[in-house]
């Protein structure tokens, strides 16, 4: 899993310590992330508070496009709660969706 923020990354580790977690610190950091060759893709953690933010959505699409260009699949982790921390506390199942590059 890949998160923008440290808190969400730590939450992901607490929820499932068997998955590797990376923190990009910013959308730009995630966009420039080079996944190991063995990794088939990433699950990108998003936050409910950003769903209506067009700039954030454009940034997420750029990440999806960049990873697909590297041959990596991207799925989005969309917590039903406000963010991953609330998701862990409330024990909800996250909504994980597949993505496609913008030009497809």
d(CA 18, CA 7): 18
Q: What is the mean pLDDT of residues 58-79?
A: 88
Looking at residue 91, what DSSP letter applies? T
Share of residues in the chain with pLDDT > 70 (%): 78
Q: What is the mean pLDDT of residues 54-69?
A: 90
Over the range 59-84, which residues count as b (16 or more CB within 10 Å of their CB) and which as e? bbeebbbbbbeeebebebbbbebebb
The pLDDT tens digits for 13-39 are 888 888 889 998 888 889 888 888 888
């Amino acid at each position: 899993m890949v998160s923008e923020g440290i808190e969400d990354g730590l939450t992901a580790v607490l929820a499932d310590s068997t998955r590797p977690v990376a923190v990009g610190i910013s959308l730009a950091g995630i966009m420039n992330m080079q996944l190991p060759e063995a990794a088939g893709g990433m699950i990108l953690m998003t936050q409910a508070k950003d769903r209506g933010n067009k700039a954030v959505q454009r940034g997420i699409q750029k990440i999806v496009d960049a990873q697909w260009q590297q041959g990596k699949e991207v799925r989005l982790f969309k917590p039903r709660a406000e963010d991953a921390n609330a998701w862990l506390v409330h024990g909800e199942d996250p909504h994980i969706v597949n993505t496609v590059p913008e030009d497809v």
